[in-house]
Structure 1
């Protein structure tokens, strides 16, 4: 195959001729892509699903609510921003349903929107809550 100064265009024309036309060449390219893509999905798909399943299980275990919810009621003694739109006000009362690495899942009594994830350090600074003292 002698190349002229047309480069890639000439190569495409020669490939189309050897495939009996540009339409068939396009079909071969699509079929090859489907074959390669399908093979990759068949090989990699189960591994990705297994990895995602394991990651989900670990996360579920880490954030699973404790079966024995504490009955200790804590009281807010200073106004504070609890994060994500939650404002803690003096006199608010809450229970801790779970403590997770620097955070506490709390339910504020009298609020319809519960539970809230709040920093354990924030709760410790503005209430009578102490880290690790939630009887879980």
Structure 2
């Protein structure tokens, strides 16, 4: 692992789960982690309900733009967290992978997206604490 760990969050559309996870990681790590996110089939914009759910916890993801996950991003990351993208993510030997089974917030009402958001926060806290025990 490099001096500054790199975490890549991947979901299908890069419009909800991965964007929320990236937002929490940026906030909780205090900039001590390089955060990337991407999708196997990126959408055109971030889910507005996910934006609202994150705004409720004072994290702004409204300016984020879904992006295509690249092989280079995966190769260059220390930790790759997948969320429902199946086998679309390339696998490199020796790389740390985690697969987080989370409900897709697409088309869900705010009260359900809050539950997904809170689960993501809990998982990000654990991930960041493992990489940077002094950060959380």
Tell which structure's C-alpha radius of gyration is larger. Answer: 1
TM-score, normalized by the shorter chain, greater than 0.5:
no
Question: What TM-score results when the alignment is normalised by the length of structure 1?
Answer: 0.21
**Greater share of residues in strand:** 1
Higher relative contact order (CA 8 A, sep 6+): 2
The structure where helix makes up a greater share of residues is 1
